[in-house]
Amino acid sequence: MVIQSFEDRREGGQRLAENLKEYAHRSDAIILALPRGGVLVAQEVAEALGLPFDVFVVRKIGVPGHPELAMGAVASHDVQYLNEEIISDLDISLNQVERVIRQEREELERREKLYRRGRPPVDLKGKVAILVDDGLATGASMLAAVQAVRSQSPKEIIAAVPVIAASSIPTIQQEVDRLVFVLAPSDFYAVGRWYSEFDQTSDAQVGEALKKRVRG
């Protein structure tokens, strides 16, 4: 059986944009990319819909020894999300959790400074905030981003990704106004499985994409 997938993140963004056409050219809508992987996806969505876009920095809190498995995430505005079930099941100590949180907070602050270069965060009050990533496994990063965005009083929060693990759909749906995706495989395994090309997005690529932000 041939597994349906995307050539790369840009194709993922183009196909995702087709499911978001109703938001095209809306003056109250903005695309928020979860860097780094979500930036190239978000750039394609923003260009297709004629919407502005910016980054919304979130850092996954990886399980010690298995950093690809998220036990939570941290986001701007001191927002923190922890998956207590994973932490309990894997018997991860409070000290271990706190150590990883400190490391990821430092990296979050570094990226905020690097990507923004003095630009203030966008005002989300009364906006339709469309949060975009390249895919969701546990959804920890997206959930942290949603909490942080909600604190800024947007009109609507939409989570949008090319691919999401089917098992994560209910968790995400109950936290956002709308969840938009292209693929939702039950045998998910990892985000990268659903892309033919899945190279790590660099800080330089993020910076270049932000220079070309669509103004609407």
**How would residue 2 be classed by pLDDT, with cut points 50, 70 and 90?**
very low
- Predicted pLDDT at 216: 43
Looking at residue 23, its pLDDT comes to 97
Let me know the angle formed at the C-alpha of 189 by 13 and 161, rounded to the nearest 5 degrees.
20
Phi first, then psi: give them for residue 128, nearest 5 degrees.
Answer: -90, 105
Mean pLDDT of 112-129: 87
Distance CA 150, CA 145 (A): 8
CA distance 49 to 208: 19
Q: Where are the domains of the chain?
A: 9-58+123-211
Q: Does domain 9-58+123-211 have CATH number 3.50.50.60?
A: no
Q: What is the mean pLDDT of residues 42-68?
A: 91
Give me Rg for the CA atoms of the chain: 16
Model pTM? 0.85
**What confidence score (pLDDT) does residue 115 get?**
85
Q: CA-CA distances (angstroms) from residue 70 to 83, 87, 119?
A: 8, 10, 30
| Proportion of the chain above pLDDT 70, given as a percent | 96
Q: What tokens does 90 get?
A: 């894997």
Residue 149 predicted with pLDDT over 80: yes
pLDDT digits (tens, 9 = 90+) for 157-184: 999 999 999 999 999 999 999 999 999 9
Residue 43 has pLDDT above 90, yes or no: yes
Average pLDDT in the chain: 90
